[in-house]
Homo-oligomer: A and B are copies of this chain.
């Protein structure tokens, strides 16, 4: 049982769905693809944590609607309160930041614009999710998924992160503007030391 296996159980606890549905829900908040999900679903079934019912379809492979079993729920209940592992963040931005002091401002500005654009894109994406959710909840239309509360708080997190990322970019620009001679030995630490 790896992280993603529990993630699938987590989503299945909300409602029974297919591997394809799970992929769509996951993709909003987690980098993965179908070739990682299908084998894990088969494993969950072998372990007795999930079961599926097949539905015939014309032109497409049979739909397999997975649902969580009682054993699966037991595993989920254990996992949800088990010690939280550290987040693993692999972001090229961090590695690029290491060497910015050897480049001139024009180069740094190119990088900053890319970073800011990425956060801006993220902000738009999550705002769209929020709007979609609002529409669905208000109209009480058939929900694409029932990820109401969980989805809501994760969308909020995405928005907060994007906004603070944009602020960070602007703060860096300000840092450069103030020290045109690039004398970074007199950095004002006090402002940030709570």
Which of the residues B103, B150, B152, B172 comes within 8 Å of A99, measured between beta carbons?
Answer: B150
Interface size in chain A (residues, C-beta < 8 A): 77
CB closest chain-B residue, reference A103: B80
Contact of A98 among B14, B96, B137, B160 (CB under 8 A): B14
Is A93 a contact of B84 with CB atoms below 8 Å? yes
The interface residues of chain B lying within 8 Å CB-to-CB of A149 are 100-101, 184
The answer, among B4, B98, B133, for a CB contact under 8 Å with A7, is: B98
B85/A92 in contact, CB under 8 A: yes
Distance between Cα atoms of A8 and B166 in the complex (Å): 26
Q: Does A61 contact B (CB under 8 A)?
A: no
Given contacts A76-B99, A92-B3, A95-B10, contact A156 B130 (CB under 8 A): no
Q: Is A107 within 8 A of B81, CB to CB?
A: yes
Kindly report which residue of chain B lies nearest to residue A76, judged by CB atoms: B99
Q: How far is the CA of A147 from the CA of B100 in the complex (A)?
A: 10
Question: B171 to A97, Cβ gap below 8 A?
Answer: no
A77 cross-chain contacts in B, Cβ below 8 A: 103, 107
Smallest CB-CB separation from A185: which chain B residue? B137
Residues of B within 8 A of A147 (CB): 98
Using a CB–CB distance below 8 Å, which chain A residues touch chain B?
A: 3-4, 6-7, 9-11, 13-14, 25, 29-31, 76-77, 79-81, 83-103, 107, 110-111, 114-115, 118, 127, 130-131, 133-134, 137, 147-154, 156-157, 159-161, 164, 167-168, 171-172, 175, 184-185, 187, 189, 192-194
Supplied contacts A90-B90, A100-B153, 9 more A-B pairs, CB within 8 Å: A7-B95, A10-B96, A80-B103, A98-B147, A100-B149, A100-B150, A153-B175, A156-B192, A160-B167
